[in-house]
Structure 1
Amino acid sequence: MTDPIATVLEAGPLDPALAGFLAQAAAQGNPPLETLPLPVARQIYRDLAAGLGLPAPAIASANDRVIDGPCSPLTLRIYQPDAEGPLPLLLYVHGGGFVIGDLETHDKVCRTLCHDVAAVVVAVDYRLAPEHPFPAAVDDVACALRWVAAHARELGADPSRIALAGDSAGAQLATVAALRTAGTITPRALGLIYPVAQHYSEPSPSMVENGEGKFLTTGVMQWFIDCYLGGRQALARNADFALLHAQALDTLPPTWLATMGHDPLRDEGHALALRIAQAGVPTAHRHYPGAIHACIHFTAVSPLGTQVMAELAAWLRTQLAPWQCLKDDRRES
């Protein structure tokens, strides 16, 4: 059983450390991200993630592997914990608005989850927009999910203890991949950090409230989505993009979803948590009133990002525990 999801989110002031970080960033007067050349925007994200996060804990190894993707070779980064197997396996899908993230921006995130969950973590370097618009990214993530399900034992993992997780655009992609493969792959858990769940043509109150000065802006979000959808307005309600228009949410595994109080995506994430729970899926919603989007990268600035990661890891450990799998198998039989 999970606790009922609040219909009204707790409000709170912006975390003082994050407020100071945002004020300092504003004082620098840098041009909006969406006005910069793509290589520059992507490097800025890498630099922020590397410079503002605490060092990741030690793990046994991290190695890249290339597999056959839907249209081209697909790189996976496989993180092995210093733990005895067979282990659970987590497929992690990075954020970055479908445009600017990569394996490097989320390397610390994946190492932290590998250590804290004691799981094999596989990160997927899916194709980015605008060079590769929708549905290239989700095609790649679904391919990676099928691959890890088929090769779990080779990686020292238990194929009955697979989970997915992601942040922002990566949370959206992880959810769609789970929906696409329902019936053929049965993940034990889905962890979503501030997911993208709708098109900007349907703005939520939090998009208006937090669309300027809170790191993720309305302008950047519109740029991300336009790049990903290739400017095709007809896709605004496509269920493989706009999760709030998806009809098969009851096929999702137990889900943990985090929203941040000062995030433009707060309300669509909250609405998605309610929709998943209403579909009958065990759903844990965690709300962090003082946090902003991308806080999991800013752990050296504020402890809130560390708290989000720790609570996701604790939930995943419970969902992926061997005793949990045995209990579920008895229930299904």
Structure 2
Amino acid sequence: MAVCSTLEVAPLDPALAGLLAQMAAQGNPPLEALPPAVGRRIYRDMDAALGLPAPVVGKVEDLVIEGPGGPLALRAYAPATPGPWPVLMFLHGGGFVIGDLDTHDKVCRTLCHHAHMLVVAVDYRLAPEHPFPAAPDDAEAALRWLCAHAATLGGDASRMAVAGDSAGAQLALVAVRRVGGIQALGMIYPAAQHPDTPSPSYAENGEGKFLTYSAMRWFMATYLGGQAAAAQHPDFDLLHSDMAALPPTWVATMGHDPLRDEGHALALRIEHAGVAVAHAHYPGAIHACIHFSGVSTVGAQVVVDLAAWLRLQI
């Protein structure tokens, strides 16, 4: 499944359209108008309310390791089947400002169950308290620790993958590129460039489809913390950085997502660097759909598709 030269177009998934209409009718203030702490709580509550119950896994364990900025929390999900298992490190989305181990707990349990992998989620530091490069530094530290200690959790460090969604997808790529020796990379609707240079999908989908253009500008301004040079750093501006050292990569794009075009451009750039790329496009879906599995089947399908691809790689 190579990268599509053009993306399939389809109407918005009816169930997601209904959800968006309900959200609009509530008249809540935009995320960027709220303190980060409030946005983080809303994100947790949204995931809890709109996602289906996650499948059962064998064991869940919370860990703390030493990170570059102090203690770094991880959560390990072990399959019910006998190990040692291949290992997946997962980095959550949330614009580098919101999101945590709980917002993506169902996603990680689903990946563990369907991929039959030890999944280790990373609670990296968030902006504005910890701006760039705190998050990629934490992602790198967690991956290096996991490569060295996977066996203590029942994992096989010779079969390692990294994945993430949105901001976490960017961090996944950066961690893999910094550390090397990883067998597979999975990215769900990755953030790949600064919204100050918006692609056409921002004009199409930047209002009324959950993730907005103004929210993205707020996320990125908060994350970069006024560091103008950081917007061109290769650990942020992925579309102008080197991809040649990446392992086989899976990229998911959503048809009604402001980040659709940059995700597509990133997949093409990786493929042009000589890397094997599988591109899965979901034309009726929106950003963050993996949290809305209780509303629409498409988000759950994205996660199951990633799990199926991972099983083929390692």
**TM-score (structure 2 length as normaliser):** 0.99
- Partners of 2:151 and 2:299 in 1: CA distance: 32
Q: Counterpart of 1:317 in structure 2: which amino acid?
A: R
**Counterparts of residues 72-91 of structure 1 (less than 5 Å):** 72-91=70-89
Give aligned-pair identity as a percent.
Answer: 66
Q: Counterpart of 1:188 in structure 2: which amino acid?
A: Q
Task: Tell me the equivalent position of 2:18.
Answer: 20
- Partners of 1:272 and 1:302 in 2: CA distance: 27
- Partners of 1:37 and 1:87 in 2: CA distance: 40
> Are 1:267 and 2:261 matched, yes or no?
yes
- Partners of 1:272 and 1:98 in 2: CA distance: 19
Task: Tell me the equivalent position of 1:126.
Answer: 124
Deviation per CA, 1:179-237: give whole Å up to 9, x if none.
Answer: 1112xxx1111000000000012110001110000000011101110111002222222
- Partners of 1:219 and 1:232 in 2: CA distance: 19
Task: Tell me the equivalent position of 1:71.
Answer: 69
Give the paired residue count.
314
> Are 1:219 and 2:214 matched, yes or no?
yes
Where 1:287 maps in the other structure, the secondary structure is strand
Where 1:163 maps in the other structure, the secondary structure is strand
Which residue, 305, 315, 322 being the options, matches 2:309? 315
Where 1:253 maps in the other structure, the secondary structure is coil
Task: Tell me the equivalent position of 2:95.
Answer: 97
**Aligned-pair CA distance for 1:38:** 1.6
Moved over 3 A (4+): none
Task: Tell me the equivalent position of 1:329.
Answer: none
- Partners of 1:295 and 1:318 in 2: CA distance: 24
- Partners of 2:33 and 2:226 in 1: CA distance: 17
Task: Tell me the equivalent position of 1:323.
Answer: none
**Aligned-pair CA distance for 1:37:** 1.6
Which residue, 170, 192, 195 being the options, matches 1:197? 192
Task: Tell me the equivalent position of 1:331.
Answer: none
Where 1:179 maps in the other structure, the secondary structure is helix
Task: Tell me the equivalent position of 2:241.
Answer: 246
**TM-score (structure 1 length as normaliser):** 0.93
Which residue, 145, 151, 154 being the options, matches 1:153? 151
8 Å Cα contact 2:196/2:217 also seen in 1: no
- Partners of 2:220 and 2:2 in 1: CA distance: 31
Q: Counterpart of 2:215 in structure 1: which amino acid?
A: V
Which residue, 214, 227, 236 being the options, matches 2:231? 236
Q: Counterpart of 1:166 in structure 2: which amino acid?
A: G
**Aligned-pair CA distance for 1:132:** 0.1
Task: Tell me the equivalent position of 1:55.
Answer: 53
Which residue, 300, 304, 318 being the options, matches 2:298? 304
Alignment gaps of 5+ in structure 2? none
**Counterparts of residues 169-188 of structure 1 (less than 5 Å):** 169-182=167-180, 186-188=181-183
**Aligned-pair CA distance for 1:4:** 3.2
CA root-mean-square deviation: 0.8
Q: Counterpart of 2:223 in structure 1: which amino acid?
A: Y
